[in-house]
Amino acid sequence: MPALKNFINLLTQELEPLYGAREARSVALRLIEDVCKLSKYACITNPDTEIEERYFPVLEAAAEDLKRGRPLQYVTGVQEFFGREFKVREGVLIPRPETEELVLMVKNYVQSMAPAGQTQGSGKGLRILDAACGSGCIGISLACELPGSEVYMCDISEPALQVTGENINSLCGQKAGNDSAVIAPEVFYGNLLGSASEQNKINAGSLNILVSNPPYIRQSERDLMHKNVLDYEPEGALFVPDENPLLFYKALAEWGLYLLKPGGRLFLEINEALGSETAKILSDNGYTEISVNRDLNDRERMVAALRP
């Protein structure tokens, strides 16, 4: 059997045309870690260790998938997000690191508003909706980070709803075993482009927070996308028409007006090129305290607003 370093070096070379040298090596390392159940540093501290024979056929098959452009997350079936391992598969958008900043933004807001005497990080009394939930990474993370909160999640995609349900069972059930205050989120079918009154899970004016990472990439921006994203990830979770790129934000503004309590908050991930336009939609709908926020790469990626 080959040594870890030999397999990693060879796969890095084979993936370099797709990803570039640095990312190709990162993909190779993560594959080894996930398949062989190794720590993040085992490949560095023990590079001459031979790969166990039982793992090699799996690694070879996975390497072939990767060379065809299939995303690593679909090959391994998992993606880490906010310190938790989420299940993913074709038909469901892969969670991105930048979306973790949206979760952190909501968490920080809740902690900043905690009344005197309440435990920091508690979500007791909060009602939250993660709209267009995909894998459930936002809503589930908030349910676990803000124990006691009631979290709802909706999507129009049946594969997304199924994967979200699996992630609720695996992550919230396990977390709740250690912290009885964690409430497993409730997931339901919800079409953002329909009326919020059509859903029957959440009463009008009952939410504290509405959070969403909706589709926002314009069709004209397809050329900027990596081939493995275009070939494998669901188009409906990514792209919007150039002639109406903010249709989901218009819908979310309306959903917020219907579902949020007065003084409730809207938190959205946005297209970095359309921050001011997104803010204007919220302003036109009466929202106040609107802020367009930059991510760690200094890109305008999030907007927050207060429901009037």
Residues 249 and 214: their CA atoms lie apart, in Å, by 8
Per-chain mean pLDDT for the chain: 92
Task: Of 13-27, 86-100, 165-179, 214-228, give the lowest mean pLDDT range.
Answer: 165-179
DSSP state of 179: -
Q: Mean per-residue pLDDT for 242-270? A: 98
SS3 14: helix
Instruction: State which H helix or E strand residue 36 sits in.
Output: helix 21-36
Residues 95 and 72: their CA atoms lie apart, in Å, by 12
Q: Mean per-residue pLDDT for 224-235? A: 89
Q: What distances in angstroms separate CA 155 from CA 78, 150, 250, one per listed residue?
A: 20, 17, 17
Tens-place pLDDT, residues 275-295: 999 999 999 999 999 999 999
- At a CB cut-off of 8 Å and minimum separation 6, what does 75 contact? 31, 62, 65, 66
Give CATH for domain 92-306.
3.40.50.150
Contact between residue 141 and residue 84 where contact means Cβ atoms under 8 Å apart: yes
Can you say how many angstroms the Cα of residue 225 is from the centroid of all Cα atoms in its chain? 18
Q: Which two tokens stand for residue 9?
A: 């070096």
pTM value? 0.93
Q: Mean per-residue pLDDT for 129-141? A: 98
